[in-house]
Amino acid sequence: MLSRTAESLFWLGRYTERAANVARGLAVASRMASLTDELNAENDQWRPLLVAAGCEPAFFEHHGEATEEKVVDFLVRDPANLSGIIPCFSAARHNGRSVRTALTVDMWSALSDSWTRLRHVTPADYQGEKLPGFLEWVRERVLLFNGAAMDTMLRGEAWMFVQLGTALERADNTARLLDVRHDLLSATAQGSTVQHGQCQAVLQSVSALRAYHWTYRERLDPARVAEFLILRPEMPRSLAACYDRVVEVLELIASVQGGRKGECHRMAGEAQAALRFGRIEDILTSGLHAYLTQAIDGVTALGGEIEAFYIRA
Amino acid sequence: MTGIAFDEMGEGDRLRPAYAAIAEWLRHTPQADLAAKRAEAEVLFRRVGITFAVYGEGGDPERLIPFDIIPRILGRSEWDGLSAGLSQRVRALNAFLADVYGRQEILRAGKIPERLVNGNEQFRPEMRDFLPPGGIYTHIAGIDVVRTAPDQFYVLEDNARTPSGVSYMLENREATMRLFPRLLARHRVAPVNRYPEELLATLKAAAPERAGPNPTVAILTPGSYNSAYYEHCFLADEMGVEVLEGADLCVEDDIVHMRTTAGPKRVDVLYRRIDDDYLDPKVFRPDSMLGVPGLIAAYKAGNVALCNAPGCGIADDKAIYPYVPEMIRFYLGEEPRLDNVPTWLCEQEDHRAYVLDHLHELVVKLAQGSGGYGMMIGPHATQAERAEFSARIRARPQDYIAQPTLALSTVPTLVDQGIAPRHVDLRPFVLSTRDEVRIVPGGLTRVALREGSLVVNSSQGGGTKDTWVLERDPPAGEGRSHTQGQTQGQTQSQGQTQGQGQGGAAC
């Protein structure tokens, strides 16, 4: 496959996933903001969201205060924020358009129809009461895109690079979401309303609250939540599951290329092994924040190695 | 113009047989249904993403070229005559290119003024004394044809460089099949969907010999900001080949490779949709970011084929155009089957005097313009516009040519006020290899949607139509006889029903 095509597909996977993750994050924050005062007094919902999206510095370059309206606008529409929902869709569509031939008609329609609508979206369509409905729609559009890829795409290299982008972006997002709330998750004080609310928020933002109940069958416990999102392979958005996927796809690419492998394969395998055999107690003892910071850097480094091996070689 | 123009459908006693079923369909279909179909067509086109990118003019950068749902129809014998003329013309253009970049016999024979060729900006001295693989220069040509009477076609312009529009020929037919399957089935329309296959065969035939039986073919595009980018991707997809940008290619030791995830891969044939000027910064424009450094050296070393060959612009230059009939006689020893539009070259003093005296009835064009820009249609121009062109012609006569304002034929078209005749042209696509010339029956019909307008260019408010070439000529005579034939068929089945004793009188 053409390197440029691989690059566009990889970023197509990353941008669509990122748009959905921002929508998930926003949905949870908006939900939390509407709950008890106690929760909001302790820690407002909007600033952590900016941190999780990795765009806190950019936000404060343009705005003095993180009010709901400003944060929502920044994360949905503002062209200054390349990780916002609409800019992500725009970038995804641009990448998709430049490799139009590698996509199926269904994938293209999912992408292009979303973009056609987003182009005409105004703040009136996503501020205030309209926000939950709008975010739901964004999530559904990305689910449709992923479903179209899953159901219609030839299992060739094109498919593999989209999957690689999706899995890597998802790992990055999960690590960031946890990191934003690492203080509360590693705190020893158990059972406060605030902590319970935070645990809920983290799980809901990865659509995993019910999955947690099914897996642990006990009340929300910060250490279990961290374990669930870092180490449990059956949780499809956990770091472990994302790395399983990354390794699997990298192996597939290597096998269609006659076994050709590089540093990215070693790196991904190493991270996967650590996740497979790691224990949450050890992670918490040595510090959740330090661990997650390293994980986020690890995803960035792996992304760089993948590009170096397949795209810029 | 519309009033006196030849209408390809005709009406009443002069309804032309090929359109009999269309005329009946138009009579019986309520306006609202047609409008609904038109809206449906727009959704279809938007959905597949067949847009024409217009950047830097404000507004929507990805525009749809309006598709008119009423097809344009050519009878079999009309097409056969046209097709033979096109094939002849393109054979002559290729022979001319081989000659002007070789021994220049036609100049030595005095058939074309030498300075028109060697002094022409479109002439590429870099191509002198180099014979491309297969000896073909313009592998893909688009010849613009207009019609003024049932048997009078004119070639308006040759496009020998990188003609576009073929994706519309194919997508328009797809749209018709989706919108009007039954109407299409009532006609026997020659299919156009083999074009991508024929194109791939043409490109493979152009490969350097050492590439073997399965050469690697790719399309070279200027990128996603090019107005025809959709077409580049569409054709690549239909042929199953890669669409490349300059940066995807690298040249080492005169061999062209594309960068892939598995390392460099050799490329044998490039269907390039980048203009000569931007192909290779080492040979042509040094500031080109679109091209591939070293591409021309690899081409001349015989390691890669470029389709079309660099330098084809000399064959479709408007100053050369008047000499195409002479080329046909000179190279093929045949009389031209298709007429040229009479053309005055403003550079020649007697021609210029005539043009300046008759500006109100002539079309004045830039000798090297395209896209309908820099053009004046005398009968439609204001006094001021005529004065301006008069001054421009006097200042740079070599830049201008003039032609009579032809009464282009019209075809019924769905416009806001209903169905009305609108002027059309036709661009068939001609594929050439050393051994044969192939033309898929049909082409791109462009239609000037504004009443009375003669400008069909998509950049100037033109639309497109599906172009049907009937597999057989319709029965001779009036349209009515066709309808009668159908009525007889119905009578027969009524008779059967009656024979079974189930009164069919009401049918």
Query: Tens digit of pLDDT for each residue in A155-208?
Result: 999 999 999 999 999 999 999 988 887 877 766 555 677 778 778 888 988 889
Query: What string of H, E and C letters represents the secondary structure of B415-437?
Result: ECCEEEEEEEEEECEEEECCCCE
On whether both A251 and A310 belong to a single domain, the answer is: yes
**Cα torsion for B414, B419, B424, B426, to the nearest 10°?**
60
Instruction: Please state, for a pLDDT cut of 70, what percent of chain B lies above it.
Output: 89
Q: Is the pLDDT of residue A35 over 80?
A: no
Report which of residues A103 and B217 the model is more confident about. Answer: B217
On whether both A139 and A23 belong to a single domain, the answer is: yes
On whether both A160 and A308 belong to a single domain, the answer is: yes
* Preceding omega of B308 cis (within 30 degrees of 0): yes
Q: Is the pLDDT of residue B497 over 80?
A: no
CA distance B133 to B306: 9
Q: B61 and chain A: CB distance < 8 Å anywhere?
A: no
- How far is it between the farthest Cα atoms of chain B? 86
Q: Is A15 exposed, middle or buried (0-12, 13-18, 19+ CB in 10 A)?
A: buried
On whether both A95 and A186 belong to a single domain, the answer is: no
| Boundaries of every domain in chain B | 2-341+406-471
Q: What pLDDT does A288 receive? A: 92
Residue B267, amino acid? V
CA distance B346 to B355: 7
Report which of residues A19 and B2 the model is more confident about. Answer: A19
A-interface mutation test, from B248, B261, B270, most A Cβ less than 10 A away: B261
Q: Which residues of B touch A113 (CB under 8 A)?
A: 47
Nearest CA in chain A to B249: A2
Residue A309 is classified by DSSP as: I
A217: left (phi over 0), alpha (psi -120 to 50) or beta: left
Residue where a domain stops, chosen among A153, A182, A204:
A153
Query: Tens digit of pLDDT for each residue in B363-422?
Result: 998 877 555 567 888 888 999 999 999 999 999 998 899 999 899 999 999 998 889 999
| Average pLDDT of chain B to the nearest whole number | 88
Query: Tens digit of pLDDT for each residue in B244-293?
Result: 999 999 999 999 999 999 999 999 999 999 999 999 999 998 888 889 99
CA distance B445 to B146: 10
Residue B129 is classified by DSSP as: T
- Which pairing describes strands B462-469 and B444-448: parallel, antiparallel, or unpaired? antiparallel
Q: Is A51 exposed, middle or buried (0-12, 13-18, 19+ CB in 10 A)?
A: middle
Number of Cβ atoms within 10 Å of the Cβ of A67: 12
Chain B nearest CA to A265, separation (Å): 14
CA distance B429 to B163: 8
On whether both A97 and A123 belong to a single domain, the answer is: yes
Query: Tens digit of pLDDT for each residue in B445-495?
Result: 999 998 888 877 766 778 999 999 999 888 765 444 443 333 333 333 333
Chain B nearest CA to A312, separation (Å): 9
Q: What pLDDT does A97 receive? A: 84
Q: A194 and chain B: CB distance < 8 Å anywhere?
A: no
Chain B nearest CA to A262, separation (Å): 12
Chain B nearest CA to A60, separation (Å): 32
On whether both A107 and A175 belong to a single domain, the answer is: no
CA distance A46 to A69: 10
CA distance B380 to A225: 76
Coil, helix or strand at residue A54: coil
On whether both A26 and A160 belong to a single domain, the answer is: no
If you count residue pairs, one on A and one on B, with CB atoms under 8 Å apart, how many are there?
A: 50
Alpha helices per DSSP H over chain A? 3-33, 37-42, 46-52, 56-62, 68-76, 85-98, 105-118, 131-152, 157-180, 182-186, 193-205, 209-216, 222-230, 239-256, 263-277, 280-286, 288-306
pTM given for the model: 0.79
Among candidates A4, A109, A257 on the partner chain, residue whose Cβ is nearest the Cβ of B245: A4
Which whole-number Å values give the CA distances from B257 to A7, B134, B210, B249, B277, in the listed order? 18, 22, 15, 6, 21
Q: Which residues of A touch B244 (CB under 8 A)?
A: 2
CB A275 within 8 A of CB A266: no
CA distance A174 to A295: 10
Q: Is the pLDDT of residue B308 over 60?
A: yes
**ipTM of the complex model:** 0.76
CB B337 within 8 A of CB B87: no
On whether both A159 and A250 belong to a single domain, the answer is: yes
Cα radius of gyration rounded to whole Å, chain A: 19
Among candidates B46, B224, B244 on the partner chain, residue whose Cβ is nearest the Cβ of A97: B224
Residue where a domain stops, chosen among A153, A181, A198:
A153
Q: B400 and chain A: CB distance < 8 Å anywhere?
A: no
CB B371 within 8 A of CB B457: yes
Instruction: Kindly determine whether residue B248 and residue A105, on different chains, have CB atoms separated by under 8 Å.
Output: no
Sign, CA torsion B346/B352/B357/B361: negative
Residue A193 has which token pair? Answer: 């309303």
Residue B25 has which token pair? Answer: 């369909």
Q: What pLDDT does A37 receive? A: 61
Strand order in the sheet with B362-366: B344-345, B400-404, B362-366, B376-377
**How far from chain centre, in Å, is Cα A82?**
15
Q: Tell me which of A60-64, A97-101, A277-281, B295-299 is least confident.
A: A97-101
Chain A nearest CA to B152, separation (Å): 41
Q: Is A42 exposed, middle or buried (0-12, 13-18, 19+ CB in 10 A)?
A: middle
Instruction: Kindly determine whether residue A253 and residue B261, on different chains, have CB atoms separated by under 8 Å.
Output: yes
Residue B204 has which token pair? Answer: 């493979």
Q: Which residues of A touch B237 (CB under 8 A)?
A: 100-101
Q: What pLDDT does A279 receive? A: 96
CA distance A120 to B98: 53
Chain B nearest CA to A102, separation (Å): 8
> Which band of pLDDT confidence, cut at 50, 70 and 90, is reported for residue B220?
very high
On whether both A98 and A35 belong to a single domain, the answer is: yes
CA distance B104 to B107: 5
Q: Tell me which of A52-56, A116-120, A145-149, B404-408 is least confident.
A: A52-56
Instruction: Kindly determine whether residue A1 and residue B247, on different chains, have CB atoms separated by under 8 Å.
Output: no
> Which band of pLDDT confidence, cut at 50, 70 and 90, is reported for residue A217?
confident
Among candidates A94, A101, A311 on the partner chain, residue whose Cβ is nearest the Cβ of B243: A101
Nearest CA in chain A to B258: A2
* Structural domains in chain A (count): 2
Instruction: Kindly determine whether residue B233 and residue A101, on different chains, have CB atoms separated by under 8 Å.
Output: yes
Number of Cβ atoms within 10 Å of the Cβ of B476: 7
Report which of residues B235 and B480 the model is more confident about. Answer: B235
**How far from chain centre, in Å, is Cα B380?**
25
Among candidates A2, A98, A113 on the partner chain, residue whose Cβ is nearest the Cβ of B258: A2
User: Domain range spanning residue A85?
Assistant: 1-153
Q: Is the pLDDT of residue B20 over 70?
A: yes
> Which band of pLDDT confidence, cut at 50, 70 and 90, is reported for residue B54?
low
Phi and psi at A205, nearest 5°, equal -70, -15
Residue B327 has which token pair? Answer: 């080329």
Q: What pLDDT does B2 receive? A: 46
Instruction: Kindly determine whether residue A109 and residue B47, on different chains, have CB atoms separated by under 8 Å.
Output: yes
Chain A nearest CA to B305, separation (Å): 20
B16-29: burial string, b at 16+ Cβ within 10 Å, e else: bbbbbbbbbbbeee
CA distance B236 to B87: 25
List, in sequence order, every residue forming a beta bridge with B144; answer none if it has no partner.
B157
Work out the average pLDDT over B39-47. Answer: 85
Q: Is B247 exposed, middle or buried (0-12, 13-18, 19+ CB in 10 A)?
A: middle
Number of Cβ atoms within 10 Å of the Cβ of A82: 14
A223-262: burial string, b at 16+ Cβ within 10 Å, e else: ebbbbbbbbbbebbbbbbbbbbbbbebbebbeeebeeeee
Query: Tens digit of pLDDT for each residue in A91-130?
Result: 999 999 878 778 888 999 899 899 989 999 999 999 988 9
Question: Count of residues for chain A?
Answer: 313
Work out the average pLDDT over A29-40. Answer: 69
Q: Is the pLDDT of residue A36 over 80?
A: no
Coil, helix or strand at residue B339: strand
B-interface mutation test, from A93, A101, A257, most B Cβ less than 10 A away: A101
Q: What pLDDT does B478 receive? A: 45
List, in sequence order, every residue forming a beta bridge with B219; answer none if it has no partner.
B243, B271
Q: A306 and chain B: CB distance < 8 Å anywhere?
A: no
Which whole-number Å values give the CA distances from A186 to A190, A280, A287, in the listed order? 10, 11, 8
Nearest CA in chain A to B266: A2
B42-79: burial string, b at 16+ Cβ within 10 Å, e else: eebbeebbbbbbeeeeeeeebebbbbbbbbbbbbbebb
CA distance A174 to A172: 6
Phi and psi at B155, nearest 5°, equal -85, 120
Cα radius of gyration rounded to whole Å, chain B: 25
Residue where a domain stops, chosen among A118, A153, A188:
A153
On whether both A49 and A180 belong to a single domain, the answer is: no
On whether both A75 and A167 belong to a single domain, the answer is: no
Instruction: Kindly determine whether residue A4 and residue B259, on different chains, have CB atoms separated by under 8 Å.
Output: yes
On whether both A173 and A292 belong to a single domain, the answer is: yes
User: What DSSP line would sit under B292-322, residue for residue?
Assistant: -TTHHHHHHTTSSEEESPTTTHHHH-TTTGG
Q: Tell me which of B90-94, B98-102, B148-152, B500-504 is least confident.
A: B500-504
Q: A104 and chain B: CB distance < 8 Å anywhere?
A: no
Q: What pLDDT does B479 receive? A: 43
